Amino acid sequence: MVEIAYYTVTGQTRRFIKKTELDAYEIDDADPYHDMDQPFILIVPAYDDNMMDSVIDFLNFGSNKENLVGVIGTGNRNFNQLYIHTAKDIANSLKAPILYDFEFNGTPTDVARVKEIVANYESTEA
Ligand SMILES: Cc1cc2nc3c(=O)[nH]c(=O)nc-3n(C[C@H](O)[C@H](O)[C@H](O)COP(=O)(O)O)c2cc1C
């Protein structure tokens, strides 16, 4: 089963996760050294690179880089060409696909699409 790890600074991504009712691991600034130990999707908002140290520490820990199967980017389209740049940078550097993107805490459509992506991933793995 594919797991989910996510990061949040202002709580929008956490609100999104709650709406999906999916189990998910929240990357913790106080201790980002958590090994997912199985395939997972990363959901990550976009911020300046210097605000992403916990996510980078998390990805560099244990087998997380190897177990990352895809990235879902969140952001704000007002940032134009920088929209979801953090997710894109991580996906490019770790050669993982961008599976989806949405703004803020997501619309009902975003919630449904992400649940579908997780469910489909599970069915192709089975
Ligand atoms: C200081 C700051 C910088 C941001 N930079 C970007 C950005 O470069 N690109 C983008 O798409 N969104 C950007 N955003 C928007 C956030 O990524 C977006 O609001 C996201 O939903 C926040 O998720 P969170 O509440 O889980 O931290 C920025 C927000 C803040 C407060």
pLDDT digits (tens, 9 = 90+) for 52-93: 999 999 999 999 999 999 999 999 999 999 999 999 999 999
Q: How far is the CA of 87 from the centre of ligand 1 (A)?
A: 11
Confirm or reject: Cβ of 104 under 6 Å from ligand 1.
yes
pLDDT at 124: 67
Q: How far is the CA of 45 from the centre of ligand 1 (A)?
A: 6
Which residue range forms the structural domain that includes residue 20? 3-125
* Nearest atom (ligand 1) to Cα of 10: 25
- CA pair distance 6, 68, nearest whole angstrom: 12
pLDDT at 1: 75
Q: How far is the CA of 124 from the centre of ligand 1 (A)?
A: 32
Angle subtended at Cα 40 by Cα 37 and Cα 42, rounded to the nearest 5 degrees = 125
- Of 59, 85, 50, the closest CA to residue 6 belongs to 59
Number of separate domains in the chain: 1
125 falls in which pLDDT band (50, 70, 90)?
low
- Of 39, 43, 42, the closest CA to residue 67 belongs to 39
Q: Tell me the H-state helices in 7-107.
A: 12-20, 53-60, 64-67, 85-94
